[in-house]
Amino acid sequence: MILVTGGRGFIGAHTVRALLDLGERCVLGQRAAGPPPALVSEREVREGRAVVEPMDCTDPGSVLAAGRRHRVTGIVHLAAAGMGASAPLDELSANAAGLFAVLRAAREWGAGRVVVASTIGVYAGVTDPVLREDAPLPVASPHAIPAGKKIAEVVADAAASSGLDVVAARIGAIWGPLGRPSSPFFAAPRLVHTAARHAMAAGGASVSASACAGETQAAGEGGVPGEAAPSYAEDAVDMCYARDCGRALALLQTTATLRHRTYNVGGGRAVANREVAAAIGRAVPGAAPALLPGRSQGAPAVDACLDISRLREDTGYAAEWDLDGAMTDYVGWLRAGNPR
């Protein structure tokens, strides 16, 4: 079975779904108790193809206990301390402890491969607009998340040199079903949730709390309570739909031979807010958000994107969702009353 730490979370749930579709069985390790994510069917749970296990990755004993109940043959490590839930040093310490616990468990179990989540944020300070895995990374980081992921990559590389099969996945801006209704890093989630809320209200449908959050969480970002914060038309980021991201991670876990230790996981191009707004307008006529012209203060003058050549060449990955298809799918998910 493949252990997916954080398997009930956003990216974790999509990774589990993709692994199940590839014929794998999964252990969903999660600190918070609860049912399997909405992407896993009741039948898959009944048949033991997807099993939720309580797990605190900062506690090695908690991780090892899963190996006593299941034969774990590979790990996708996505669990992380909640963003901003603790002081930066505590967050870094918890994430490092979790990684060491997972790597030690992999060694004890003889797991075939460990895929460790990293982030596009590690490239902050790299001047080339095409972000390649072999680019030298600055030591300094603008945020605790990329700082922690750089630590994780160094540890993962050291573990690989000692014989473990460890791969780091540098993940771009992910959006889609089960994602947060608002992100501090890019505008798309909030814009989509706001449009879905308006569509449900116009249709007379009940409006879920998660859809409302797309607007109300924006307060304090330059707007007033209940009013969306301004977004700029030319701000852009490498976006990848969650279903594609999950499949990319599943392929990194299951592909027999990989030639590299680090892989970018993203869309392979920078998507501007104006493109997102236009796609929203096509998915929900009349709901295209108004954007401010140009770029926000502090936005880079040149858009950067992830080079995903390694991922394509080594795993055969190809995105299944273009922007319009993903937008229609996500809006449909929200309007159907699914969680987030």
pLDDT in tens, 226-261: 345 689 999 999 999 999 999 999 999 999 999 999
Specify the DSSP class assigned to residue 265: E
Q: How confident is the model at residue 205 (pLDDT cuts 50, 70, 90)?
A: very low
Widest pairwise Cα distance in the chain = 60
pLDDT of residue 337: 83
pLDDT of residue 226: 38
pLDDT of residue 229: 67
The answer to whether the CB of 305 falls within 8 A of the CB of 270 is: yes
Cα separation of 99 and 116, whole Å? Answer: 8
Give the whole-number percent of the chain exceeding pLDDT 70: 91
Q: Please determine, for residue 220, whether its predicted confidence score (pLDDT) is greater than 70.
A: no
CATH number of 2-174+239-265: 3.40.50.720
Between 220 and 330, name the one with better pLDDT. 330
Q: Please determine, for residue 201, whether its predicted confidence score (pLDDT) is greater than 80.
A: no
**Rg, Å, the chain Cα set:** 20
The tokens for 6 are 């954080």
Query: What's the CA angle centered on 36, arms 255 and 64, to 5 degrees?
Result: 65
pLDDT one-digit tens code per residue, 58-95 = 999 999 999 999 999 999 999 998 776 778 888 899 99
Q: What mean pLDDT value characterizes the chain?
A: 89
Strands 50-54 and 262-265: unpaired
Give the domain ranges of the chain.
2-174+239-265, 180-237+277-304+321-335
Tell me the mean pLDDT in the region 116-136: 96
CA neighbor of 22 nearest in space, from 310, 263, 255:
255
Tell me the mean pLDDT in the region 213-237: 54
The tokens for 255 are 């592909």
Q: How confident is the model at residue 271 (pLDDT cuts 50, 70, 90)?
A: very high
